[in-house]
Chains A and B, each alone.
Chain A
Amino acid sequence: MNFLTLKRRHVLMGLAATTALPSISFAQSGQPVSGGTLKISHSTRIATLNPLSLSGPAEYPCIDMLYSRLTRIGFDSQPHPDLAESWVASPDATEFTFTLRAGVTFHDGTPLTADDVVATYQAILNPDIPAAATSVLNMIDTVEALDELTVRFTLSSPFADLPFSTAHANACILSRSALDDLTGLETRVNGTGPFKLETYDSARIVRMVKNDNYFVRGRPYLDAVEMLLFPDLAAETANFLSGTTDVMLTVQQADFERIAGSPGIGGQRVNSGRYVCVVMRQDAEPWNDVRVRKALAKAVDRQLLVDILLEGLGRPAYDSIVAPELQYATDKPEIAYDPEGARALLAEAGYPDGISVTMVASDRPAIRSQTAIVMQQTAAAAGFNLDIQTMPHDTYLANVWRKGPFYIGYWGMQPTIDATYNLLLTSEAAYQDSEWKNEEFDALIQAGRSTTDEAERARIYAEAQTLELAETPYIVPFYEDVLTANRDNTNSWQVAPISRYFYIENVWLDS
């Protein structure tokens, strides 16, 4: 019965999405018209187009336009069919069979077959090839092509969320021949996405043109999309406001009100699970004592951080890395700013005179050091004497990240609760940096993967979140909103909460 629920839900979703998605996207009025060039400004370089390993904020929209995946996360944060038309899972969630759309071709005209999917997943799982999606797909044991259009995944352990993982931004389907030349992937593209690569100049512009053979009929509307690089924020803003560009990919909190309020421009804020966290390494004093962690939690004024750092463009968080948007997320009790309570807890833990510690914050993005500075002020009243050390991001990555005892982390939103926890908190987590290792928690997460019963999963994940709140492995003070802006002539421009999916094939410009 349980597996039936899963199957029905996912297959139904698969069928519904082809019709449902357009209606989601065309909330704006007016009949879409074809043509035009959309100009998107961004401030971080597009250094590579290699979908296996890239991680730049401006690189994601490019591969979302150029490639397709088996599944794709919609604005509803659920997986929808992309290259896969439908899929079914075995009762125990260890075997998934995906059926591909018929008649899909790569940009060079060769047809997409199940063999290309197999080759792509073998590359992602190959330990000699750096691939960002490995950590959410490493439970795959074998991938085989049953026929031209059917692929079967056999998993080494149950994993009910596989259709989320196949939508991972870096799990783009490549052709088998493209995989022979891994260096070529950096600058050349042969995908199945709605746009084809025309110009790739990493220092300046990436220009993509309409793929007339895109598998969704009638899309894309645009003739071309240009991604324009402006490393200086003032210059980027000036170009956007004066109409040189149509979309500003990311807007800083401090500029949002001014930009969104300018004539002819609309700002968008999307609630997201992107968060800053305080990393406290728990294999040594003082952070191995949960009372010290709880004391620091009480010493953070969350609403103040949201008000002054995010200019209100975010929400306070209460020490869970699980955002409210995620399925199975529970309501988290508010943690009030309580310096006296924090002081009492510290004294109880054996620090009646408070604690002096050095907190490291990288300079990129600026929100890390800003958070550190505000925390320094609010925590002082609770007896925490924080010595803030800011450093260049490259030095931080090399010397502090996953090594240091006390620093500010910053993470994007993950598509599922399982992915969120397996990124940081399970003992085998890909980026485990707190040394908080809890067998009970690990067992819960494993159990959540293995069942397809929604009620059972809800119960398991509720328990895991209770454990997280009881132990406070991280201090998570707030979730940041994703901010973007577009000119009024640009319709259907939207950013998904995880900022990896853009559906630019649905965007159109007023003629």
Chain B
Amino acid sequence: MNLSYLIRRLVAVLVVMAIVTVAVFAITNVLPGNAALMILGENATAQNLAALERQLGLDRPLLVQYFDWVSGVVRGDLGMSLRLGLPVAEVVGSAFINSMWLAGLALAAVTVISIPLGALAAIKRGTVYDTGIGVFSYVGTALPEFVTATLLLVLFASPANPIFPAGGFADPMEDFGLFLTHAALPVATLGLVLMAHISRQVRSEMSEVLSSDYVRAARIKGLSERRVIWRHTLPNSMAPAVAVISLDIGYLLGGIIVVEEIFAWPGLGRLLIYALQNRDLPVIQAITLVLAVVYALSNLISDLVIAKLDPRVRYG
């Protein structure tokens, strides 16, 4: 890997961003209605509608609107939210931080739990552990988030059994403990599906490595089982898991949309749904940009990590 490779990848990210903005702008404008109509709803008299369109600048030609927005972004100005009357940077910025808490915690929990789980299943292949973990994984993958979320709500946040708050949010900077209780159920919902994914991946990769020649050689050499697993098997099984995790970040970004809506988590997903329903184009654009960047960068980082884990992988 070298610098020019990195630069090429970063340029590619920029190109992706440009394509995404054009696509989102075009698609949003194909949707019926505009922000002015959505704001006024059934209060939309022709006069009010015309006045609001003028006020929001929606009466200008589409190309003018688009290039106006692009030139703002280049200058670092994401514009004003049409619906909320606040700067987009402020609205999307705080939602982004909240979502990253959720996604970050989910990813951390999943990594810590599912990699050992997958490894255990591979080592104890064919035993009751393996079957148990397998069943758990399949159930996790099979249940969509909106089902898992509702089940968790009923089990752990019902009025009869209020272990966790049923949705809502607390500022982690003010009261981290309270924040964690609010985060527990959404993180668990996101985590269940990913856990299944990653532990299955680690298990199959690890089983393969465990039956490979070099592991047999290591065992014959008389190395302890612990050393065989931790030093020789696990690192070699990790590269595919990292690739899966980076793909799962894409899934995670989709998952937060559902989970945030159910648990009233003030993050990007909920903001995106809201902005779409209200045709709040500057907010939609900003969120899709942020999501595209996160996705592209996480791919880049996982490629770099894989190269680090597996010396055979070279980029140039």
Contacts and interface: CB of A to CB of B under 8 A. Distances in A.
B51 A130 contact: yes
Contacts of B44: 397
Nearest to B39: A53
A203 B45 contact: no
B45 A394 contact: no
Nearest to A186: B85
Contact of B45 (A128, A182, A395, A431): A431
Contact of A394 (B32, B80, B154): B32
A148 interface: no
A134 B47 contact: yes
B16 interface: no
Contacts of A187: 84-86
Nearest to B150: A234
Contact of A47 (B159, B261, B278): B278
Given A231-B261, A395-B33, A239 B166 contact: yes
A239 B42 CA distance: 31
B51 A129 contact: yes
A48 B158 CA distance: 32
Given A187-B86, A399-B32, A230 B45 contact: no
A128 B159 CA distance: 50
Interface string B22-56: 00000000011110111111111101110110110
Interface of A is mostly: loop
Nearest to B185: A235
A209 B271 CA distance: 27
Contact of A235 (B80, B86, B263): B263
A130 B264 CA distance: 31
A238 B274 contact: no
B279 interface: yes
Nearest to B32: A398
B169 interface: yes
Contact of A241 (B37, B38, B95, B159): B159
A55 B40 CA distance: 7
Contacts of B158: 238
Contacts of B274: 45
A380 B277 CA distance: 34
Contact of A232 (B34, B42, B91, B262): B262
A110 B255 CA distance: 49
Contact of A239 (B167, B266, B277, B278): B167
Contacts of A183: 80, 85
Q: How large is the interface on A (under 10, 10 to 19, 20 to 34, 35 or more residues)?
A: 35 or more
A135 B45 contact: yes
B170 to A, nearest CB: 10
Interface in B124-173: 150, 153-154, 157-159, 162, 165-169
B83 interface: yes
A129 B56 CA distance: 11
A187 B154 CA distance: 36
Interface in A392-447: 393-395, 397-399, 401, 411, 430-431
Contact of B85 (A48, A55, A130, A201): A48
A232 B261 contact: yes
A183 B166 CA distance: 34
Interface string A121-159: 000000111111011000000000000000000000000
Interface in B97-119: none
Nearest to B159: A241
A203 B270 contact: yes
Contacts of B277: 393-394
Nearest to B56: A130
B166 A394 contact: no
B55 A235 contact: no
Contact of B41 (A55, A182, A229, A232): A55
A205 to B, nearest CB: 9
Given A130-B55, A203-B266, 9 more contacts: A47-B278, A55-B43, A135-B45, A186-B85, A232-B261, A239-B168, A242-B162, A244-B166, A397-B33
The 5 closest A-B pairs by CB, nearest first: A186-B85, A398-B33, A398-B32, A238-B166, A235-B167
Interface of A: 45, 47-48, 50, 53, 55, 127-132, 134-135, 182-183, 186-187, 201-204, 228-232, 234-236, 238-239, 241-242, 244, 262, 393-395, 397-399, 401, 411, 430-431
15 contacts: A53-B52, A129-B51, A130-B55, A131-B48, A132-B40, A186-B84, A204-B264, A232-B264, A235-B168, A238-B159, A242-B166, A394-B278, A397-B44, A398-B33, A411-B42
